[in-house]
Structure 1
Amino acid sequence: MEENSLPEEDVEMIENSDGKDIVSNEASPMVEPFIGMEFESEESAKSFYDNYATVMGFVMRVDAFRRSMRDGTVVWRRLVCNKEGFRRSRPRRSENRKPRAITREGCKALIVVKREKSGEWLVTKFVKEHNHPLLPLSPNVRRNPHLSQTPDEKDAKIRELSAELSRERKRCAALQQQLDMVLKEMEEHSNHLSTNINNVIQRVREIESNTFTKL
């Protein structure tokens, strides 16, 4: 989801920050988000809420964002619980297929962060309550990094993998061409040997024929 209509104050104007406390990536995951909480970057905000989600017992999902109309950079981001919203109902292709597990339950828990003119990111909305049980995890538990990727990061990863696949296909095509050339040379060499052998046999037969004639 992307919205391009932003008021002028949402457009980036980088300034130096003086005397303000900014939450960095090293912020304690036990700190609860609050409106007015500041981060030095969007990544810091995502890292903080991801750690908070791990401790509280839910999984963060990077949701909607808005871009600046001036330079196209992200200036607003919504981070939600992965059980936010509801799964779209689709007709089943086969009665034999098992229905997919329900992973969306309409959870409203989220935070919204917005980039200020100073370049800092400010929490402008926080909903703490979940409508489902929470399963707290240790912060040391390794999680799938793809769960917290933004749409931009996913697109970049897809482009990277597509480029790598294209390179591998070209490499395979070049190797196949070289293999075909080797096989062709081997076939030509085999045909040449067969011709030489046939010539030798024919020559031997001619010699034997001439010998018997003289006798």
Structure 2
Amino acid sequence: MENIVTEEASSVVEPFIGMEFESEEAAKSFYDSYAKSTGFVMRVDAFRRSTRDGTVVWRKLVCNKEGFRRSRPRRSESRKPRAITREGCKALIVVKKDKSAKWIVTKFVKEHNHPLLSLLANARRSSHISQSPDKKDAKIRELSTELSRERGRCAALQQQLDMVLNVMEEHANHLSVNINNVIQSVREIESNTFTKSLS
């Protein structure tokens, strides 16, 4: 029972054969989290259905660089060829539903045949850290200038908004006075009519 992994499982745990999940979605969620923390993108691949009730009982989850793209004739010579996203990566897990309705990892391939995103991100982070102080100061000044410019724009917009609100308030007050005058006139007319009818 200690091998069962829920959807909230930690993404740092490495899959292993025999690992159990409460559902297919829990297995997908776990491998997706593992993929993100490791530095690749998961893709939901093949599946098999039960011959008895048609439900999915076997699922393969792979790296998005699994397999190779099918070569198709180009429609036009002027079109640029699409970037190669499939590199024949073998990394995957296979989960199978057992008789107790648990999903069990029956196959796990860890190795990728391409650089992982986390390694590339670390390299980029290192290059940012190694920037000279002069470059950092220049970037700070640039961002400060942009922030000051945006604050100025916000102040100008606020001033315009206040002017519009003042005009709207004056207009509302003017309408209120006119409505009160109309009501007063109607009352006077009604009063005069009532007085004439009595006489």
TM-score category, normalised to shorter length: 0.5 to 0.7
C-alpha deviations, 1:92-127, integer Å up to 9, x for none?
111110000000000000000000000000000000
List aligned pairs for 1:145-164, cutoff 5 A: none
Whole-Å separation in 2 of the counterparts to 1:62 and 1:21? 23
1:136 positional shift: 2.2
User: Match for 2:116 among 124, 131, 134?
Assistant: 134
As a proportion of its length, which structure holds more helix? 2
1:111 is matched with 93
Q: CA RMSD in A?
A: 1.4
Aligned pair count reads 120
User: Match for 2:39 among 52, 57, 61?
Assistant: 57
1:83 is matched with 65
2:82 is matched with 100
Paired letter, 1:71: D
Whole-Å separation in 2 of the counterparts to 1:47 and 1:122? 14
Question: Which consecutive unaligned segments of at least 5 residues does structure 2 have?
Answer: 122-199
Which runs of at least 4 in structure 1 moved beyond 3 Å after TM superposition? none
C-alpha deviations, 1:4-58, integer Å up to 9, x for none?
xxxxxxxxxxxxxxx4541001111000000000000000000000000000110
2:128 counterpart of 1:123: no
2:54 is matched with 72
Question: TM-score normalized by structure 2?
Answer: 0.59
% identical aligned pairs = 82
Any idea what SS the aligned residue of 2:27 has? helix
1:40 is matched with 22
Whole-Å separation in 1 of the counterparts to 2:47 and 2:56? 7
Paired letter, 1:95: E
C-alpha deviations, 1:53-100, integer Å up to 9, x for none?
000110000000000000000000000000000000011111110000
2:157 is matched with none
Paired letter, 2:27: A
Any idea what SS the aligned residue of 1:136 has? helix
Whole-Å separation in 2 of the counterparts to 1:98 and 1:133? 25
2:8 counterpart of 1:26: yes
Whole-Å separation in 2 of the counterparts to 1:20 and 1:49? 18
CA spacing shift, 1:21–1:128, aligned 2, 3 Å: closer
Whole-Å separation in 1 of the counterparts to 2:91 and 2:113? 8
Question: Which consecutive unaligned segments of at least 5 residues does structure 1 have?
Answer: 1-18, 139-215
